[in-house]
Amino acid sequence: MRNSAGQAFPSLSRLSKILKRPMSSPSKDKRGIPLIPPIASEMLRDLIITPSRDPFVVLPCVAEQTNNARHWIDPKTLPLREPIETYYARDPYPIPAVSDREGYYGDDRHLDWWLSGLRDFLAVEQNFLQYNGTLGNGRRILELGCASGRALRHFVCHAPDAQTWGCDINLRHVEWIRQFLPPYIPVFQNTILPHLPIEDRFFDLVCAFSVFTHIDHLELAWLAEVRRILKPGGIAYFSIHGETTWSKMGPEVPAYNSLMNARNEIKGPEVNEALFEGPIPEPKTVFAWETIRNYNSNVFHTTEYIHDPKKSS
């Protein structure tokens, strides 16, 4: 394929090779400044998150967070294969400020943020070992919606023989990973549209944490796109809001607080305390609001819907 000037476009295979090349780290005088264009077109604003261009603020690495009194996740409850100190030692990288981690574990619960990523990594590792063997040996892994690396950093640090990729609709997150995690990680910005610049049958594992919980439209098209880039026998590992999440909805659950705070703007079932005392209203229940252009919904799925999405599209 060629453009109007007769120049050949790079193939998807070539784009993949470009993304896999080690990237140079930002120079010291540029470190901490995200490379984000000052403006975006109206069309592009519908497809991506247009983030702040403020300089990054980073926090010390996890080893310096272990004496933090405000952490609720007990490492002893995690399915560790090694002492927790070994996991701490493998990750010398800084931790993002609360403003650069989707608000997860606010205030000073920085260790909880790190441990929650380790918990997700260990769950994926256990499932992969059960079905496909080790995460090493050059396995290719993509975290779809990687944010600033809450889970991705653990794949990089604790499965170093794998090739870990990341993508997110927020360029600020991509920049955080590019600047503060190892420079050999291929990371890029995608859009809300179900298309990724990756060749067919490329990844052994695609995981997405708290991504399909926010996809109201094009959900099945995204599943088809993930299937396209997975190798035969590859694994897709996604988190959802299901009946278990619904049964726990209360002030201690971030999704509950998000919905209650935005209930006057929400399109969908009326949000009140009584709503969560019953079952999920629809097989796929969408709470959406129009105050922002995208990333503007919370989605809940029943088990029946997950097992057979053709019943409720």
Give mean pLDDT, residues 54-80: 90
pLDDT value of residue 24: 44
Locus of tokens 């995204």? 222
- Tell me: do 43 and 181 sit in the same domain: yes
- Tell me: do 211 and 266 sit in the same domain: no
Sort 253 into a burial class: Cβ within 10 Å, 0-12 / 13-18 / 19+.
middle
Is 23 contained in some domain?
no
Please list, in sequence order, all residues whose beta carbon lies within 8 angstroms of the beta carbon of residue 195, skipping any fewer than 6 positions away: 225
- Tell me: do 43 and 169 sit in the same domain: yes
pTM, two decimals, is: 0.88
- Pick the last residue of a domain from 205, 238, 271: 238
Q: How many CA atoms lie within 13 A of 82 on its CB side?
A: 8
Tell me the percentage of the chain whose pLDDT exceeds 70. Answer: 88
- Tell me: do 229 and 249 sit in the same domain: no
Mean pLDDT (the chain) is 89
| 3-class secondary structure, 111 | helix
- Pick the last residue of a domain from 190, 211, 238: 238
- Tell me: do 136 and 252 sit in the same domain: no
- Pick the last residue of a domain from 223, 238, 253: 238
Cα–Cα distance for residue pair 119/79, rounded to 1 Å: 8
Domain range enclosing 264: 243-311
- Tell me: do 116 and 226 sit in the same domain: yes
Please list, in sequence order, all residues whose beta carbon lies within 8 angstroms of the beta carbon of residue 37, skipping any fewer than 6 positions away: none
pLDDT value of residue 294: 87
Least confident segment among 31-35, 241-245, 276-280: 31-35
Is 181 contained in some domain?
yes
Give mean pLDDT, residues 2-11: 44
Cα–Cα distance for residue pair 188/21, rounded to 1 Å: 13
pLDDT value of residue 4: 42
Identify the residue with better confidence: 70 or 247.
247
User: From residue 112, how far is each of 15, 100, 118, 214, 257 by CA, in Å?
Assistant: 36, 15, 10, 23, 19
Per DSSP bridges, beta strands 58-59 and 95-96 are antiparallel
- Tell me: do 291 and 155 sit in the same domain: no
- Tell me: do 228 and 267 sit in the same domain: no
- Tell me: do 220 and 250 sit in the same domain: no
- Tell me: do 134 and 197 sit in the same domain: yes
pLDDT value of residue 309: 59
Q: Is the pLDDT of residue 10 over 60?
A: no
User: From residue 229, how far is each of 102, 135, 141, 163, 253 by CA, in Å?
Assistant: 27, 18, 11, 15, 33
Locus of tokens 């019953």? 278
Residue 157 sits in a domain of what CATH number? 3.40.50.150
pLDDT in tens, 204-246: 999 999 999 999 999 999 999 999 999 999 999 999 999 999 9
Cα–Cα distance for residue pair 19/14, rounded to 1 Å: 9
User: Cβ atoms within 10 A of the Cβ of 107, count?
Assistant: 8
Q: How many domains does the chain fold into?
A: 2
Locus of tokens 């453009």? 3
- Tell me: do 262 and 208 sit in the same domain: no
User: Cβ atoms within 10 A of the Cβ of 99, count?
Assistant: 14
pLDDT value of residue 67: 82
- Tell me: do 250 and 229 sit in the same domain: no
